[in-house]
Amino acid sequence: MHLLKVMMVFFLMQVCVVAQAQLRIEVTKGGDNPTPIAIVPFSWSGEGLLKEDLAGVVAADMGRSGQFKPMARAEMLSQPSVSSEVFYRDWRIMGVDYLVVGRITPVPSSPQASSSVPVYRVNYELMDVRAEKSVASWKIASVTDLRAAAHHISDMVYQKLTGLRGVFSTKLMYISVERDGAKGKVYKLQVADADGQRSQTLFQSTEPVMSPVWSPDGKRIAYVSFATGRPAIYIQNRLTGKKIKLTGFKGINGAPDWSPDGQKMAMVLSKDGNPEIYIMNLKTRDLRRLTHHYAIDTEPRWTKDGASLVFTSNRGGSPQVYKVDVVTGRVTRLTFRGNYNARAQVSPDGHDLVMVHRENEQFHISVQNLQRDLFANLTKTSLDESPSISPNGSMVIYATQHNNKGVLGAVAINGNIKYLLPALRGEVREPVWSPYLN
Amino acid sequence: MSKYFLVVYVYSIVQANNVVLNGLIDSNKELNMSNMKNNRKLLAALALGVVLVGCQSQPSEEAVDTAAAEVIESGSHDVAGMTDAAVKSEEALAAEAAQALLSLTVFYFDFDQANVMSNSYDALQAHAAFLNSNPAAAIRLEGHADERGTREYNIALGERRAKAVEKFLLVNGVSASQVETISYGEENPAEGGHGEGSWAKNRRVEIVYK
């Protein structure tokens, strides 16, 4: 049953693959005391060369988590592909704690198959070097997308070793802006793998596109587009590309955020004269106004339980983060440090508030513990914005400036690792981490 | 020497009008008074028109005061230019001044603020006068913010700025049907730099005649 599910997912994943790297990764701060792990190159028993280096992708994934330090291939004394070939001593003397080995074999295509897309089987194992034993072994019975297979392997290994579900098979959505001589600026809404590879354009316009957000199941997205000359909120099917205009009221139509149950959309409308938070029932399109204040109320984000929203308001004189109970409408202030705290998101476990925070005239990504009075800046750069928490709560992706260009940055929520994802062309911003997609 | 006094006199009228207008922004009942003053205000602005063109392009609250002070100080050696201006008819001068003020279509704001700055009043008054006498004319007020802070908050801030300018125009008799507002937040900066120089130019409302 599980294998069937994995197979189906992988077949779906290869539907629209674009082999073009849009983002690359530059690690700016390594993890503290990462666990040494060796991802041995997987053996391949078929003909020719594979298009993807599976073990290389897994090693990069593990390294990017900040919790593991993958061993350089040049240092490996041997390259086993099954546990029976492993000499634990070879790895122990190199200081490796864990070992991943695997083999890829071709799956003969059935005579009825019309396409000639190669199909692979992958067997892989995780070993504990000190205990000298196999921890787990897995099999992917049939897969065409080797990069997706690699990210899946990373997820399995990561979860086995940390107890936390991996986010290597998730995706990142973001806005890119490129200058096109004839058209001026071109805004593209793009989706890439969590490692920044294989970006695809979901929507593009010569007018601003902003505030993208995922549906809880990851199948649909919502965003604000100025394509008609005025802002409007759109919902688009990620796979078919079909889109509908959800709102087009007078004034602001902004900051959409899907409720955790997928039934409602929080948004900001200024149709009544002032930016206020509304909740729209997506079935009936009924609107309910949640805030009533002459100040700016914006950037609503649902808490995981769907019972409340955090939002930004300058009702106290400067932008601060507040929480509103969806049922009672009761508003409580959450941030008190400094005079600019905005675009907050509550972590999946409900413990932390991640936000944009101004300190010494600089805008950082910061985290505030909601139970105890703990506060920390996750970034040190000055124009950081648009934080988005990974679905397992371990990482935050955000937008920043690097070499005078808009780039994406990622940082562990415990500050353990930091890396940048600059675009190969143009500028990128407003990253949003997808939910788990399988 | 008489030119010197003219400049001081004109400046004082402009300032007096600004004081009146300051009080008017939130007060519809004083609308008529504001309209009555419009002609005098335009006339007053005319002599300083050229000076104001210069200082309007400076996104600073102190711009008017500073410019006026400079004129006063340099009054004695700036006589030639003033003499030419003085021989023109009042109507021609008024038209020229109105034209100069109407050419100002960008108005600046302080960080995280949406109050119309006092150095924007004269040009906004000229636009109000123009829209009053041309009921078929219509404008779009485009509000913008600098890149600092968050994007949706900046959309809200840009809207506040556009609405503050709209309110100023409506208080000065412009029909609501002639004005529409839109906010681009920080999405369409006038300048791409990442310092106060660029930020000051990006915190703005632009008047676009349709």
Contact B153 A318 (CB under 8 A): no
Helices (H) and strands (E) in chain B, counts: 8, 4
What local confidence, expressed as pLDDT, does residue B105 receive?
Answer: 96
B153 lies within 8 A of chain A by CB: yes
Of A211, A226, A298, Cβ closest to residue B156: A298
Residue A288 to chain B, least CA–CA distance (Å): 20
Q: Where are the beta strands (DSSP E) in A226-351?
A: 232-237, 243-247, 253-258, 264-269, 276-281, 287-289, 297-302, 308-313, 320-325, 331-333, 341-346
For residue range A68-97, list pLDDT tens digits in order. Answer: 999 999 999 999 999 999 999 999 999 999
Q: Find residues 121-150 of chain B whose CB sits inside 8 Å of chain A.
A: 147-150
Residue B140 to chain A, least CA–CA distance (Å): 11
Do residues B42 and B97 lie in contact, with contact meaning Cβ atoms separated by under 8 Å?
yes
What local confidence, expressed as pLDDT, does residue A175 receive?
Answer: 97
Cα A231 from Cα A40, distance rounded (Å): 51
Task: Identify the band that residue B1 occupies on the pLDDT scale cut at 50, 70 and 90.
Answer: very low
What local confidence, expressed as pLDDT, does residue A75 receive?
Answer: 95
- Assess whether pLDDT exceeds 60 at residue A98: yes
Task: Identify the band that residue B57 occupies on the pLDDT scale cut at 50, 70 and 90.
Answer: very low
Of B149, B182, B194, Cβ closest to residue A340: B149
Task: Identify the band that residue B88 occupies on the pLDDT scale cut at 50, 70 and 90.
Answer: confident
Label residue A79 left, alpha or beta by phi (over 0 means left) and psi (-120 to 50 means alpha): beta
For residue range A326-340, list pLDDT tens digits in order. Answer: 999 999 999 999 999
Size of chain B, expressed as the number of residues it contains: 210
Most confidently predicted of A65-69, A250-254, B1-5: A250-254
Q: How many CB atoms lie within 10 A of CB A95?
A: 12
Contact B194 A404 (CB under 8 A): yes
- Assess whether pLDDT exceeds 70 at residue A291: yes
What local confidence, expressed as pLDDT, does residue B83 receive?
Answer: 52
Cα B167 from Cα B116, distance rounded (Å): 10
For residue range A371-387, list pLDDT tens digits in order. Answer: 998 999 999 999 999 99
Contact A298 B159 (CB under 8 A): no
Across B158-171, average pLDDT: 98
Strands ordered across the beta sheet of B179-185: B106-108, B204-209, B139-144, B179-185
More confident residue, A57 or A15: A57
What local confidence, expressed as pLDDT, does residue A182 receive?
Answer: 81
Of A211, A296, A385, Cβ closest to residue B157: A296
- Residues of B in Cβ contact (< 8 Å) with A231: 155, 182-183
- Assess whether pLDDT exceeds 80 at residue B4: no
Across A129-141, average pLDDT: 96
B191 lies within 8 A of chain A by CB: no
B65 lies within 8 A of chain A by CB: no
Cα A187 from Cα A206, distance rounded (Å): 6
- Residues of B in Cβ contact (< 8 Å) with A385: 149-151
Domains of chain B: 2-209 (3.30.1330.60)
Of B147, B150, B182, Cβ closest to residue A342: B150
Of B153, B159, B183, Cβ closest to residue A319: B153
CA A370 from centre of chain: 23
Across A136-141, average pLDDT: 97
Cα A52 from Cα A81, distance rounded (Å): 17
Do residues A233 and A246 lie in contact, with contact meaning Cβ atoms separated by under 8 Å?
yes
More confident residue, A347 or B84: A347
More confident residue, A417 or A86: A86
What local confidence, expressed as pLDDT, does residue B127 receive?
Answer: 97
Do residues A194 and A154 lie in contact, with contact meaning Cβ atoms separated by under 8 Å?
no
Across A277-298, average pLDDT: 97
- Assess whether pLDDT exceeds 60 at residue A392: yes
What local confidence, expressed as pLDDT, does residue B28 receive?
Answer: 37
For residue range A153-194, list pLDDT tens digits in order. Answer: 999 999 999 999 999 999 999 999 998 888 789 999 999 999
Most confidently predicted of A2-6, A86-90, B10-14, B46-50: A86-90
Contact A231 B182 (CB under 8 A): yes
Domains of chain A: 31-109+118-162 (3.40.50.10070), 171-433 (2.120.10.30)
Of A230, A356, A401, Cβ closest to residue B150: A356
Q: How many CB atoms lie within 10 A of CB A370?
A: 15
Across B34-60, average pLDDT: 40
- Assess whether pLDDT exceeds 90 at residue A10: no
Question: What are the backbone dihedrals phi and psi of residue A126, each rounded to the nearest 5 degrees, phi first?
Answer: -115, 130
Of A211, A296, A386, Cβ closest to residue B156: A296
Contact A363 B148 (CB under 8 A): yes
B187 lies within 8 A of chain A by CB: yes
B112 lies within 8 A of chain A by CB: yes
Q: What residues of A are in the B interface, CB distance below 8 Å? A: 208, 210-211, 226, 230-231, 251-252, 254-255, 268, 270, 275, 296, 298-299, 312, 314, 318-319, 340, 342-343, 356, 358, 363, 383, 385-386, 401, 404, 430
**Strand duo A320-325 + A308-313: pairing:** antiparallel
- Chain B: residue nearest A311 by CA? B153
More confident residue, B34 or B85: B85
